[in-house]
C-alpha cells in the first residue's frame, strides 16, 4: 500500500515529515515509521469485529517485542487496559489524530501523465486525509479531459483554484526537465508541502516540506539484497 510519511497538519502540530519530527520531538524514527502501519493493522482488525487487541498481536506484525509496541503507543499518549489490551477503535482514532489523517487536506496534482493518472485514481489517498481538488498539466492536448473526479486544467489556472480553496499539498509527477519549474510554481502560490515523484532532487526554501518518492532507488535496493543472497546470479549483457 502506498503510504507517505508526512505527519499531516492538525490543530496541535505543524506539517512535518518523519525526519523533522524526530529532530523536534526526539521520537525515534523507527517508531514514527511504524505508527502509520499500526493504523492500517488496526483498521483490518476492526473489520473482523474484535474490540480489543494486545501489544503482542501488534508486535507479531513487525517481528518486534511487545514492550516496543507499548513504547511506540506511549508516544501518542494512548494507554491500554491491563489484561485487556488496547481498544482497537480507540487506538486507531488516537493514531489518526496524531498523524492528522482525520482532517481533510486539499491536494493538487501537477502532471497528468501515466503516473499522475494512476495516483489520481488511487483510493488510498482519501484514507490518509488527502482530497484531490485539482489536476494541472502544461500539455494543451490533456486539458479539459477528466481524470478521476477532476478536470485537467492548464498550469495558469492554479491561481484561480487557490483563490477559493486552501491547498496544503502538491503532488508532482511531471518529466524531469519540468520538475523544478513545477515546484517553483506551487511554492509561489503558497503551497508548503510537496510530494515529489520525479527522480531528481528539487531545490526548495527551508520552510517547504518535500517527500521524495524515487521508485528506481527502491528497486536498486531490492536488487542489492537479491545479489547479496545469490552472488552467483548471471550478469546482464552490456
The pTM of this model reads 0.72
In this prediction, residues 138-158 reach a mean pLDDT of: 93
- Residues with Cβ < 8 Å from 209, sequence gap 6 or more? 6, 15, 16, 17, 20, 192, 193, 194
Task: Kindly report, residue by residue over 15-57, the tens digit of the pLDDT.
Answer: 344 444 444 456 788 898 899 999 999 999 999 999 999 999 9
Maximum CA pair distance of the chain?
A: 62
The 10s digit of each residue's pLDDT in 73-106 is 999 999 998 889 999 999 999 999 988 888 888 9
Q: Can you list the domains of the chain with their CATH numbers?
A: 6-99 (1.10.10.10), 105-218 (3.40.50.720)
Q: Are strands 86-87 and 52-53 parallel, antiparallel or unpaired?
A: antiparallel
Split at pLDDT 50, 70, 90, the class of 132 is very high
The CA distances from residue 159 to 145, 153, 154, 155, 188, in Å, are 19, 11, 11, 9, 10
Separation between Cα atoms, residue 65 and residue 49, nearest integer Å = 25
Residue 80 C-alpha cell reads as: 491500554
Q: Please give the pLDDT value at position 54.
A: 96
Amino acid at each position: 500500500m502506498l503510504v507517505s510519511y508526512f505527519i499531516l497538519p492538525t490543530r496541535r502540530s505543524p506539517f512535518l515529515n518523519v525526519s523533522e519530527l524526530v529532530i523536534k520531538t526526539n521520537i525515534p524514527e523507527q517508531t514514527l515509521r511504524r505508527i502509520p502501519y499500526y493504523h492500517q493493522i488496526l483498521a483490518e482488525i476492526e473489520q473482523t469485529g474484535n474490540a480489543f487487541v494486545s501489544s503482542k498481536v501488534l508486535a507479531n506484525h513487525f517481528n518486534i517485542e511487545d514492550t516496543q509496541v507499548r513504547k511506540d503507543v506511549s508516544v501518542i499518549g494512548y494507554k491500554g487496559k491491563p489484561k485487556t489490551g488496547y481498544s482497537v477503535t480507540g487506538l486507531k482514532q488516537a493514531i489518526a489524530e496524531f498523524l492528522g489523517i482525520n482532517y481533510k487536506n486539499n491536494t493538487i496534482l501537477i502532471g497528468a501523465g501515466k503516473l499522475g493518472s494512476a495516483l489520481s485514481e488511487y483510493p488510498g489517498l482519501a484514507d490518509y486525509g488527502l482530497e484531490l481538488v485539482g489536476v494541472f498539466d502544461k500539455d494543451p492536448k490533456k486539458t479539459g479531459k477528466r481524470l478521476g473526479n477532476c478536470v485537467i486544467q492548464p498550469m495558469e489556472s492554479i491561481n484561480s483554484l487557490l483563490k477559493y480553496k486552501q491547498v496544503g499539498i502538491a503532488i508532482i509527477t511531471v518529466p524531469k526537465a519540468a520538475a523544478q519549474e513545477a515546484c517553483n510554481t506551487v511554492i509561489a502560490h503558497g503551497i508548503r508541502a510537496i510530494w515529489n515523484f520525479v527522480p531528481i532532487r528539487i531545490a526548495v526554501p527551508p520552510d517547504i516540506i518535500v517527500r521524495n518518492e524515487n521508485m528506481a532507488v527502491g528497486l536498486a535496493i531490492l536488487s542489492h539484497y537479491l545479489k547479496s543472497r545469490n552472488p552467483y546470479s548471471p550478469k546482464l549483457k552490456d
